[in-house]
């Protein structure tokens, strides 16, 4: 890495806005990281959006800085694991160097995120073919549909947060393109050529522990870190998340 710290791009979970990750952003910036958190294309009421649109957005966000020589680590939360992982294809520091380009991705962190184990699988399949009870969704695989959270999501997404903070987080969630969850992955965690780490959230009620551990087991070479948080460690345990991120570049 040299003396310069890499930049950080956070690829958010479904339904979430960049503001949800503000505490993590502030703590990373205090440690000298430049932090980018784009609003994903899929986090809207626009239909037909898939993870591929989110990959394009990630590339649009990082490429100008990579061209200037900036290296990045990508932090993926929940759904963000799919587009965050896919965005590294062709954009690693090594691949860009081989193409006489500067910058690139150096490492990836799956933060209770979908490290899809096999190409051809989508996120719904990673969930066992059934959406969680805290989601309100349309008929499966019908395309051009949106989905949203229901009242149960406040507890399942933010079970380890004070009620007032959980309420604010819940009240600002966005609709989401269901197509993004039902479009098969093409580049998956086992295809990664950069160091990969999975932060298991042991008290996660939205992505249950057994799902996280199954995803980890599906990818060889995945380093594992753990925390006692629920699904949103970037809010409830941001110092632990920063500690794990700092470990990615040691």
Please name the residue ranges forming H helices in 21-132: 22-30, 51-67, 81-87, 93-98, 123-126
Q: Looking up tokens 């799956």, which residue turns up?
A: 110
- Note down pLDDT in tens along the chain; length 250 residues: 445 899 999 999 999 999 999 999 999 999 999 999 999 999 999 999 999 999 999 999 999 999 999 999 999 999 999 999 999 999 999 999 999 999 999 999 999 999 999 999 999 999 999 999 999 999 999 999 999 999 999 999 999 999 999 999 999 999 999 999 999 999 999 999 999 999 999 999 999 999 999 999 999 899 999 999 999 999 999 999 999 999 998 6
Looking at residue 249, its pLDDT comes to 82
C-beta separation of 75 from 197 below 8 A: no
Which of 22, 79, 19 has the alpha carbon at shortest distance from 55? 79
What angle (nearest 5°) sits at the alpha carbon of residue 185, between those of residues 179 and 188? 145
pLDDT of residue 250: 67
Q: Which of 5, 35, 32 is nearest to 234 (CA)?
A: 35
Orientation of helix 22-30 relative to helix 238-247, angle to 10°: 50
Is the CB of residue 76 less than 8 Å from the CB of residue 196?
Answer: no
Quote the tokens at residue 66: 């990579």
Sorted by where each begins, the domain ranges of the chain are 7-247
pLDDT of residue 2: 44
90: left (phi over 0), alpha (psi -120 to 50) or beta: left
Assigned superfamily of 7-247:
Alpha/Beta hydrolase fold, catalytic domain (3.40.50.1820)
Q: What is the pLDDT of residue 4?
A: 81
């Amino acid at each position: 890495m040299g003396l310069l710290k890499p930049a950080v791009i956070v690829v958010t979970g479904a339904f979430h806005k960049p503001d949800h990750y503000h505490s993590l952003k502030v703590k990373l910036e205090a440690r000298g990281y430049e932090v980018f958190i784009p609003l994903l294309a899929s986090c809207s009421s626009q239909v037909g959006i898939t993870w591929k649109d989110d990959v394009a957005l990630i590339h649009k966000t990082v490429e100008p800085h990579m061209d200037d020589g900036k290296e990045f680590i990508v932090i993926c939360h929940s759904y963000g694991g799919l587009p965050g992982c896919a965005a590294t294809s062709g954009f690693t520091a090594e691949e860009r160097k081989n193409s006489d380009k500067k910058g690139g991705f150096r490492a990836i962190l799956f933060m209770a995120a979908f490290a899809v184990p096999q190409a051809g699988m989508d996120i719904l399949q990673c969930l066992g073919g059934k959406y969680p009870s805290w989601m309100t969704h349309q008929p499966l695989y019908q395309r051009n549909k949106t989905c949203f959270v229901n009242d149960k999501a406040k507890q399942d997404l933010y079970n380890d947060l004070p009620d007032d903070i959980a309420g604010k987080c819940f009240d600002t969630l966005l609709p989401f393109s269901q197509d993004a969850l039902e479009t098969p992955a093409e580049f998956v965690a086992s295809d990664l050529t950069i160091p990969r780490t999975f932060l298991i959230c042991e008290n996660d009620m939205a992505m249950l522990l057994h799902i996280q551990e199954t995803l980890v087991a599906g990818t060889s070479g995945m380093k594992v870190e753990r925390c006692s948080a629920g699904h949103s460690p970037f809010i409830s345990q941001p110092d632990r998340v920063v500690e794990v991120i700092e470990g990615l570049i040691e």
